[in-house]
Amino acid sequence: MIPLELSPDRLFPADPGARSVARTLYQAVRDLPIVSPHGHTDPSWYANDTPFEDPAALFIVPDHYVYRMLYSQGVPLDALGVPPRDGTRGIDNDPRAIWRIFAQHYPLFRGTPTRLWLDHAFHTVFGIDERLTEESADRYYDRIAACLRDESYRPRALFERFDIEVIATTESPLDPLAHHRAIRESGWGGRVVTAYRPDPVVDPHFENFAGNVAKLGEITGEDTATWRGYLSAHRARRAYFKDMGATSTDHGHPTARSENLDPAQCQQLLGRALAGTIDANDAERFRAQMLTEMARMSVDDGLVMQIHPGSYRNHNGAIFERYGRDKGADIPMRTDYVHALKPLLDVVGNERNLTIILFTLDETTYARELAPLAGHYPVLRLGPPWWFHDSFQGMLRFLEQAIETAGFANTVGFNDDTRAFMSIPARHDVWRRVVCRFLATSVVEHRLDEDEAMDLAPALSRDLAKRAYKL
């Protein structure tokens, strides 16, 4: 048996002086409640509070961070229980068999954030104190399976145990938000809010776009074939989402391009999009225009706007064909913000009642584009390191490259952006540790006074996020 220990000093600097300051800072933020202003957990968990199914269904089958790594080393997705689109299943779907394959390949995760998150969950949530190996796989499985049968491992209990102050999920405008309504009506004290993510009705290349826009019209009673009615329908759904707790919207376009076209051009683009005759460039223009429209609406309704650009979705055609979206084959691209956001910023850049939070998968933009933009425009703030960069090294690069120009106040602390419920405490813990490390190093190198670090640590851990997202 190889022990699994979580050092109290993990991720802190090796230098004893800096480590000591990091410890002091961390003491002050370790137990702060979790504010999770953006993520993809399933609201039905909190609405229904049904137990999680089994260890594989909890940790492997739905987590593309996990199975992409095994796939890259030759393990078929079928063997990991990833369901094909057509419902067929190539192999026996035994969760214990899946778990064993996972355990056997666990060394692949050495040096990755996934390993940090998993070990944290195994140890702190399930009380396991040996490392996951081929040999320990069954003991792991049995232990986790047993826990999941216990009341204290139901979603709401874990929500409370994780000390989540508030969590946001992300829904389509077509979603009736029944789970959010059920949570609200259940009398349970946990705060779960939604966020407005309109991809299915703003991206002409989304599966069934025209049908989605038609459904948007039905739901809102607007004629969404007209530009005016289409915008009104958005306004109506945003109001509904806001009513159901939403404080933000979220926009995941391939690029950060924005436009400011006249209504006649918009009507033409919408028409072609609905007719399915729009070409790639015009589809991009339509999405670009919608960024600006969403920003305008945010000025009116106060919803905080998030922009998550730069992912080449479903890069692996064969995998998309067989398994569908979000299967670990989304690859970051170079992203421009300076030219792309100019049309939008010309319209709303100097507003006082608007916050736009920018994310990136292209780290070269931290110091070159994003920090200078956020360090000037009053509407802009910088989101934390995202996706592949939500990692120890990624966080350090973000802090080292963005803060000198943007300052801390133009950032928004952390969000976990995850669908992996078990990883939430771990992800926030990694962020808090890296923040404390960064601040501690700044203190011992006399780039920051210690009282200032003591002030910034909780701000970065919780308060900036609450304020920026109006939570």
> Which residues 57-76 are close enough to bind a second copy by CB under 8 A?
68-69, 71-74
Query: Interaction with a second copy in 12-31: which residues (CB under 8 A)?
Result: 12-15, 17-18
Q: 24 or 232, CB closer to a second copy?
A: 24
Residue from 361, 420, 424, 465 in contact with a second copy (CB under 8 A): 361
- The yes or no reply on residue 359 touching a second copy (CB under 8 A) is no
For residues 210 and 282, give the distance between their C-alpha atoms in angstroms, rounded to a whole number.
Answer: 15
Angle at which helices 16-29 and 450-458 cross, to 10° = 40
Binding mask 393-432 for a second copy (x = CB under 8 A): xx-----xx-xxxxxxxx----------------------
Query: Interaction with a second copy in 246-305: which residues (CB under 8 A)?
Result: none
- The yes or no reply on residue 378 touching a second copy (CB under 8 A) is yes
DSSP β-bridge partners for residue 192 = 167
- The yes or no reply on residue 470 touching a second copy (CB under 8 A) is no
First to last CA, the chain: 45
Give residues with Cβ within 8 angstroms of 135, minimum separation 6: none
Segment contacting a second copy by CB under 8 A, of 266-274, 282-290, 343-351, 462-470: 343-351
**What are the distances in angstroms from CA 468 to CA 218, 348, 384?**
33, 17, 12
Q: 116 or 424, CB closer to a second copy?
A: 116
For residues 123 and 118, give the distance between their C-alpha atoms in angstroms, rounded to a whole number.
Answer: 8
Segment contacting a second copy by CB under 8 A, of 149-157, 160-168, 211-219, 312-320: 312-320
Residue from 226, 372, 454, 463 in contact with a second copy (CB under 8 A): 372
**What are the distances in angstroms from CA 276 to CA 206, 223, 436?**
11, 18, 51
Residue from 170, 194, 442, 461 in contact with a second copy (CB under 8 A): 442
Q: 64 or 237, CB closer to a second copy?
A: 64
User: Total residues contacting a second copy (rule CB under 8 A)?
Assistant: 93
Segment contacting a second copy by CB under 8 A, of 45-53, 144-152, 187-195, 363-371: 363-371
- The yes or no reply on residue 313 touching a second copy (CB under 8 A) is no
CB of 330 to a second copy, least distance (A): 8
- The yes or no reply on residue 336 touching a second copy (CB under 8 A) is yes
Sign of CA dihedral 223, 229, 231, 232: negative
CB 224 within 8 A of CB 233: yes
Residue from 95, 349, 413, 425 in contact with a second copy (CB under 8 A): 349
Residue from 121, 295, 444, 457 in contact with a second copy (CB under 8 A): 444
Q: 2 or 264, CB closer to a second copy?
A: 2
DSSP characters for 53-80?
--HHHHHTTT-HHHHHHHHHTT--GGGG
Angle at which helices 263-275 and 280-301 cross, to 10° = 120
Q: In what order do the strands lie in the sheet with 192-193?
A: 34-36, 164-168, 192-193
**What are the distances in angstroms from CA 427 to CA 33, 386, 416?**
13, 12, 6
- The yes or no reply on residue 316 touching a second copy (CB under 8 A) is yes
Which tokens go with 340? 């792309």
Q: 85 or 339, CB closer to a second copy?
A: 339
- The yes or no reply on residue 321 touching a second copy (CB under 8 A) is no
- The yes or no reply on residue 135 touching a second copy (CB under 8 A) is no
